[in-house]
């Protein structure tokens, strides 16, 4: 049996060995992408961030000061919890 005959089964195995060696990395990359996808899915979308498009005053005292300065009415929204965190 020549060397090539001996090597043949190893050569046949080589793709498997390479595949096995790479598999954890491939699986890990897929896993990372999946996790990142879940993170992205949980984030508020731009449409859900409309609250940030309003120029909110720091408090009612500050709002009344600005209202006098700019001759505007005050829009006061009172709530429980933390509306800016969606925990309300």
Partner 1 sequence: MLNRYFVPVYGSNEDVVAGGSAPAAEKAERQRIYRTYLDRKLGVGDVHIYILTADGEPLDGMSVGEATVNDTNLLNMLNRVVKKLGNAPGQPVVNPGPQSVAPAAAADALVLHLSARGAARGTSYRMFPAENWIVLDKQEWMSLLPAGEAKVNDKWTVGKDVASKMLIKFYPQTVEITAGVERGRIDRQELTLTVTSLREGIVRARFDGTLHMKHGSVAQNEDFFVDAVVTGFLEFDSHTRTIRRLRLVTKKATYRDEEFLAALRSVPQAAQ
Q: From the CB of 18, what's the least distance to partner 1, in Å?
A: 17
Q: From the CB of 41, what's the least distance to partner 1, in Å?
A: 6
Q: From the CB of 63, what's the least distance to partner 1, in Å?
A: 4
| Residue keyed to tokens 């043949």 | 8
Q: Is 5 in the site for partner 1 (CB under 8 A)?
A: no
Contacts of 76 by beta carbon, 8 Å cutoff, 6+ apart: 60, 63
Region 17-56 residues binding partner 1, contact defined as CB under 8 A: 24-25, 28, 31-32, 35-36, 38-39, 41-44, 48-49, 51-56
Instruction: Tell me the HSE value of 32 on the side-chain side, using a 13 A CA sphere.
Output: 6
Backbone angles phi, psi at 26, to 5 degrees: -60, -45
Q: By C-alpha distance, which of 81, 69, 74 is closest to 56?
A: 74
Residues that bind partner 1 (CB under 8 A): 24-25, 28, 31-32, 35-36, 38-39, 41-44, 48-49, 51-64, 66-88
């Amino acid at each position: 049996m020549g060397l090539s005959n001996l090597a043949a089964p190893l050569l046949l195995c080589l793709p498997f060995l390479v595949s096995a060696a790479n598999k954890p990395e491939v699986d890990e990359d897929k896993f990372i992408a999946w996790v990142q996808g879940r993170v992205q899915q949980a984030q508020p979308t731009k449409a859900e961030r409309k609250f940030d498009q309003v120029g909110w005053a720091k408090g009612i005292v500050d709002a009344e000061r600005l209202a006098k300065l700019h001759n505007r009415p005050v829009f006061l929204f009172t709530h429980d919890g933390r509306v800016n965190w969606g925990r309300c």
